[in-house]
Structure 1
């Protein structure tokens, strides 16, 4: 709707001169005549038709504002990308320019430059620093995402990463900012014209019209109100279009979904607790994401939702809470709390604020990167954090970026539990947690069980955890029962990756200390340990994303450079990382197919057509349908995103796969499919070093090592028969 309105306004502004009832420069009557007769808006100071001058007076202003906004946005965008990526780039200059009064700069340019050039220069100096600040902050955040690190891991050049990964992911913010720059430029051009630095008579120009007609505003207000209204309409249309640059849910066509369920005329039912009835969700194209889902969580009850990845468990929870995102649209269904309907919109927001605690599937993304743990939780939340096994004193002043995946999950869980909410909704509360932490989560959930003032809804792939804490488990989609057997030991090949006395320090703390390890071709080595023990740091150091302080990583006789930027194509292709967090593993602006084809082209020199032809096979290998290639991450579940990221890593045909919690977001059946795939690949010589809390993954490993206090020790001797034990200094 906003785009249509913008198009109409632009059409009038650009083509208005063709529709003027009179010559906009010729007098048609007395000065400042009121509206009437042939002059619908009256006449101006020289007796010219106000309507004709309004219709003809915006084209030049539009062009000047577009030029100024384009220059300011281009300068600010380039400035912000460089500053955000390098950590340098003139932050002091930006502060100085923003500290100088904008009007002073504009007037300085107005008296030294032509009017249009003054608008451009003023908009650049006044707007580019703000754009640079915004883009720089977004770029810094984006640089730490999994999809940017994957691009670095396949050897993309900095310019390519910025253009292909960073820029598309922040494009909607850049468009919105450019719209603001346009509005500022338009207002500046008009203001300078009012002050006498713009268009010259007899040109029809909105700013000039304001200057000329202000003395006669009492005689013919339309002489001032006409151009003012035109400026307002154009500014508002562009601002709204920029605000709507991000994708919006689209209402499905009538007849696609089932009709909404009818409600009790009184608005009250006899069921107590939390219920949802007939919930149906479709995407922007009208395709069904969830159909006719109903559930009841009675007072004091703990209910689990189980099912394969992509079955709709998270969609059900978000639809119930009225927090659907992306292009998902709820087309039917009613949520009730204590028998009363929860109305969508503000009423649902108020209900969530007053009664609901939520742990999102991707908790790290819900923590404000600028707030410490102590600020995010408060005193009450820190007390809950202690119940989850994290020392409040040690975590109070830490920022989210310093937390491991399991630690971030427990911090977000503590926030959800703060205040003992009546409704607790937990999406994958144990993903990525070690067994001791899972026990603590189970304890806090069981403490709610049987309390008639509380209800708890859990989404989890962990069937053992659900059986332990839930009163009932509801199946969403088809659940295939799969039993994961430990594999028979197999002989290993030559050493694929050798690590010698590796030390990594971060934030003044030694995370890995003189660590030594060999991984053979065809071998799977599992690394276990508590959250925050350094498992992810180990894998990232081997991938070159966290350069080690001392020590060597070798493939055969070749020492791999510590930093990924210094590694050649062979080294990049040989060692690939599957990152832990599926939430930021894929660029939200790219389809799954684009993500998978990129390593095929960069590391494999495949043509565009050849790369695309391999995508279906790679997706099938991780248990995904071929049409997944056309979907963006926002339309994939966490488990589906994780498998696409795995397909992307395998597309490089690595000799060594560094897998960080590869099954954390997967149901048991899908996890077994992925592990079967890795088994097939290891038969062909793939070496796998996997960080995990999943016993099923450890059961598949030839060796299981425990990382504690920065050192590796043998965890389960029974698994080491056919692999060399780690050498511990």
Structure 2
């Protein structure tokens, strides 16, 4: 991201000094010794795995600590005002006016009971009551135009649920920028969006930050997105800054082993690369070691790393400020830092067709959403379904799984006609085809332990005794790389990646021949995502066939043998992965690829907002 304003003339908008946030119960630090500053118009990326402290730090920048946490000490100065010295009423006055927040899920952030126009009006009336109605309307008209939304009576009368996901996210951006705050906190605002809508949102954020000289903190686990929008990146690990560098330095010359591990774990649309998850897990606030928090996952660790936590130091040989917290910076000499891309041979499937769909049509009410869709699945392959939101990916996958009743056509499972209603399928057919949902937390019963959830599946399908059931549950937990003690835990006790592994384990207990995976890695950290994708590849080696629904074209390049591209309910391109992603024939596929973020390819995207403003 670039700005016409000379950096030396930019005003410092945000200053954070020695910030410490701890658990109330144990006083153990969640984030500690955080120090950095941010200038007007600058976008800072805040990255790290779940549990790294990203959300805690970004919340503190709003003067807020989540339940069970407390801001213990430090300074957070926004536009010369230390917000940690303000009372609740004063904080309410600056939120929205000096600092704004854009949430990850606009569906929950927007008031469902208020029309879009009312939500914009209300914000201006609260913070700028001295201005006239005409002035408010002028500001609303201007900001809606800038985020690519219409300023007309019909649109302003809509409720949030009547907007698409991309439109909802643009309304959040309008609400965040309309008061021209000094600082905006963006909490993974593009996680659930398809690549074209994501590209549009990033372009809007980039443009508005430059136009209004707003400083922004962009929280994300997706480093390809971070590379596309930020000027500088802070990598957090176990509540501390592991590395802080300008964008190019961080991606071209990562100096912390953790940063390097994150970059290696990212699948990329431009190249096939071996998936390399960081082994192990980040320690929780109550279980952090005495020395370096990364010590148990670092292959370069020594006794010094176990005994003493490294300090964040500035590298003297760098032109731009580059800070690293590592005892052994010489580890870089042991590897070729640029040899991150490793050629990967895709899992080869045989030519046996295990599932065939013909002339599949589907409706939502009276509206047809799938049109004569046809494809086949070969034993042991991974077929990716890609396309924008609303293209029909999930509708098609649920139709195959028997979860959508407004469907016509034919689906054959091993040459046997498969009913579209799951309740009409035989027990053997339900064994063979299993569905893994995007949100494992909603798909798991919160009142049951993991052991109870998995045991019920075994008993339902196989009528085993207690000993046989326990053995099968233990075996499947080992298969998805989870410890035996996981059986006694509840879904709330697990991380997002662990819950997703449980969802996979539950499906595997049915001994399926086909797994339908619906966006199962969209909300996962890159390292956890890499481990999940590795698991799916291992399953393919054992003959399991996978239908993989995703909007992440980097993941498609890494795991899929073939790709089906859907647009408005029709397959517009179908073929081998490398052929489709490297030499796309259809203009729609070319559009998707042009907007797919990448660490490798040169970004030369042209403006296509006129095609995307829907």
1:606 Cα offset (Å): 5.6
1:409-447, Cα deviation, whole Å (9 max, x unpaired): 555455444544432212222223333223212212222
Mapped to 1, the partners of 2:384 and 2:516 lie a distance apart of: 10
Which residue is 2:413 aligned to? 555
CA shift in 2, pair 1:717/1:655, >3 Å: closer
Indicate if the aligned counterparts of 1:503 and 1:550 stay in contact, CA closer than 8 A: yes
Which residue is 1:599 aligned to? 457
1:513 aligns with 2:295: no
1:544 Cα offset (Å): 2.5
1:708 Cα offset (Å): 0.8
1:281 aligns with 2:140: no
1:701 Cα offset (Å): 0.8
Indicate if the aligned counterparts of 1:702 and 1:720 stay in contact, CA closer than 8 A: no
Mapped to 2, the partners of 1:465 and 1:617 lie a distance apart of: 37
TM-score by length of 1: 0.54
1:312 Cα offset (Å): 2.8
Indicate if the aligned counterparts of 1:493 and 1:522 stay in contact, CA closer than 8 A: no
Mapped to 2, the partners of 1:499 and 1:701 lie a distance apart of: 19
- Of 87, 99, 107, 1:356 maps to 99
Mapped to 2, the partners of 1:718 and 1:317 lie a distance apart of: 38
Which residue is 2:201 aligned to? 441
Mapped to 2, the partners of 1:470 and 1:351 lie a distance apart of: 25
Which residue is 1:424 aligned to? 184
CA shift in 2, pair 1:390/1:691, >3 Å: farther
Indicate if the aligned counterparts of 1:282 and 1:331 stay in contact, CA closer than 8 A: no
Query: Which segment is superposed worse, 488-497 or 440-449?
Result: 488-497
The DSSP-based 3-state class of the residue aligned with 2:360 is strand
1:276 Cα offset (Å): 6.1
Which residue is 2:222 aligned to? 462
CA shift in 2, pair 1:280/1:383, >3 Å: same
Mapped to 1, the partners of 2:140 and 2:475 lie a distance apart of: 47
1:261-315, Cα deviation, whole Å (9 max, x unpaired): xxxxxxxxx9742536423333756665444444433332211111223333223
Which residue is 1:318 aligned to? 59
1:383 Cα offset (Å): 7.2
Indicate if the aligned counterparts of 1:281 and 1:328 stay in contact, CA closer than 8 A: yes
1:625-654, Cα deviation, whole Å (9 max, x unpaired): 666666655566655554544444444443
Matches within 5 A, 1:193-204: none
Indicate if the aligned counterparts of 2:102 and 2:187 stay in contact, CA closer than 8 A: yes
Indicate if the aligned counterparts of 2:16 and 2:76 stay in contact, CA closer than 8 A: yes
Which residue is 1:337 aligned to? 78
Indicate if the aligned counterparts of 1:406 and 1:432 stay in contact, CA closer than 8 A: no
1:299 aligns with 2:40: yes
Which residue is 1:712 aligned to? 571
Question: As a proportion of its length, which structure holds more helix?
Answer: 1
Mapped to 1, the partners of 2:32 and 2:473 lie a distance apart of: 30
Which structure: larger Rg?
Answer: 1
The DSSP-based 3-state class of the residue aligned with 2:59 is helix
Mapped to 1, the partners of 2:386 and 2:47 lie a distance apart of: 26
1:500-521, Cα deviation, whole Å (9 max, x unpaired): 2221111432111121221122
The DSSP-based 3-state class of the residue aligned with 1:321 is coil
Indicate if the aligned counterparts of 1:706 and 1:713 stay in contact, CA closer than 8 A: yes
CA shift in 2, pair 1:443/1:436, >3 Å: same
TM-score by length of 2: 0.63
1:681 Cα offset (Å): 0.4
- Of 400, 403, 421, 1:542 maps to 400
Indicate if the aligned counterparts of 1:326 and 1:635 stay in contact, CA closer than 8 A: no
Which residue is 1:660 aligned to? 518
Mapped to 2, the partners of 1:583 and 1:406 lie a distance apart of: 24
1:381-413, Cα deviation, whole Å (9 max, x unpaired): 797677666778897677666767666555545
CA shift in 2, pair 1:629/1:528, >3 Å: same
Matches within 5 A, 1:604-619: 604-605=462-463
Which residue is 1:475 aligned to? 235
Task: Kindly report the root-mean-square deviation, in angstroms, between the aligned alpha carbons of the 2 structures.
Answer: 3.9
1:539 Cα offset (Å): 1.8
The DSSP-based 3-state class of the residue aligned with 1:714 is strand
- Of 533, 537, 557, 1:679 maps to 537
Indicate if the aligned counterparts of 1:431 and 1:664 stay in contact, CA closer than 8 A: yes
Q: Size of the alignment, in residue pairs?
A: 452
- Of 419, 422, 426, 1:564 maps to 422
The DSSP-based 3-state class of the residue aligned with 1:315 is helix
Indicate if the aligned counterparts of 2:390 and 2:568 stay in contact, CA closer than 8 A: no
Structure 2: runs of 5 or more not aligned: 1-10, 122-136, 238-257, 268-272, 274-343, 581-614
1:460-498, Cα deviation, whole Å (9 max, x unpaired): 122222122211111112441325425336133533332
Structure 1: runs of 5 or more not aligned: 1-269, 722-729
Indicate if the aligned counterparts of 1:582 and 1:639 stay in contact, CA closer than 8 A: no
1:335 Cα offset (Å): 3.4
Q: Which has the higher contact order (CA 8 A, sep 6+)?
A: 2
CA shift in 2, pair 1:409/1:688, >3 Å: farther
